[in-house]
Amino acid sequence: MEPDHGVMDKKHIRVEGKIYSAEKLAELHPGGPLFIQAFSGRDASQAFLSYHRRQFPHKRAEPAYISDDTTVSHDPQDHADFLELCQRVDKVLPRMKSFAPWHYYIKVAFILGSAFGLELYMHINRAYVWYLSALVGLFYALIGLNIQHDANHGAISRNPWVNRILGMSQNWIGGSSISWIHQHVVQHHIHTNDLERDPDIAGNAYIRLNPNQKLMRFHIVQHVYFFFLMAIYGFSVVIQTVDNILKGKHHTTMSVLLGPHRAFEAVTSALFILRWMVLPVYLTGSFMTLLHTVPMYIVAGYYLAFFFTISHNFEGVHMMEDTRRGFNSKSSFLYNQVVTSSNVGGAFLCMLNGGLNYQIEHHLFPRIQHSHYPKIAPVIRAFCEEKGIPYVHFDSINENMASCVKHLIDLGNNVNPVHITMISAAN
Work out the average pLDDT over 270-274.
97
Going by pLDDT thresholds of 50, 70 and 90, the confidence category of residue 308 is very high
Residue 113, φ and ψ in degrees, nearest 5: -60, -40
pLDDT tens-digit map of 165-205: 999 999 999 999 999 999 999 999 999 999 999 999 887 78
pLDDT of 216 over the 80 cut: yes
Question: Could you please report the per-residue DSSP string of 389-418?
Answer: ----EESSHHHHHHHHHHHHHHHHH-SS-S
Segments in 93-232 forming alpha helices (H): 104-124, 130-143, 149-152, 160-167, 169-172, 177-180, 222-229
Q: pLDDT tens digit string along 63-83?
A: 999 998 877 766 666 788 999
Mean pLDDT computed over 148-156 = 97
104-124 vs 130-143: helix crossing angle, rounded to 10: 150
pLDDT tens-digit series, residues 408-424: 999 999 999 998 988 87
What pLDDT score was predicted for residue 203?
Answer: 72
pLDDT of residue 321: 80
Read off the pLDDT of each residue in 301-317 and give the average, rounded to a whole number: 95
Residue ranges per structural domain of the chain: 1-74, 104-203+217-309, 314-423
State residue 52's pLDDT score.
93
Range name among 130-139, 318-327, 352-361 with the lowest pLDDT average = 318-327
Residue range 205-224: mean pLDDT, rounded: 93
3-state secondary structure string across 258-275 = HHHHHHHHHHHHHHHHHH
Give the separation between CA 268 and CA 158, rounded to whole angstroms.
Answer: 26
Q: What is the mean pLDDT of the chain?
A: 92
* Mean pLDDT along residues 362-371: 97
Position 328 scores a pLDDT of 40
Report the pLDDT value the prediction gives residue 380, as an integer from 0 to 100.
98
- Give the per-residue pLDDT at 75: 65
pLDDT computed for residue 70 by the predictor: 75
* Residue spans of beta strands (DSSP E) within 333-374: 343-344
Residue 427 has pLDDT above 50, yes or no: no
Tens digit of each residue's pLDDT (9 = 90 or more) over 327-365: 443 568 899 999 999 999 999 999 999 999 999 999 999
Cα 37 to Cα 11: distance, rounded to the nearest angstrom: 8
Strand 249-250 relative to strand 252-253, pairing: antiparallel
Give me the pLDDT at residue 189, please. 94
**CATH label, 1-74, candidates 3.40.50.11260, 3.10.120.10, 3.40.1400.10, 2.160.10.10:** 3.10.120.10
Residue 33: DSSP 8-state: S
Above pLDDT 90, what percent of the chain?
Answer: 86
Taking residues 319-323, report their average pLDDT. Answer: 74
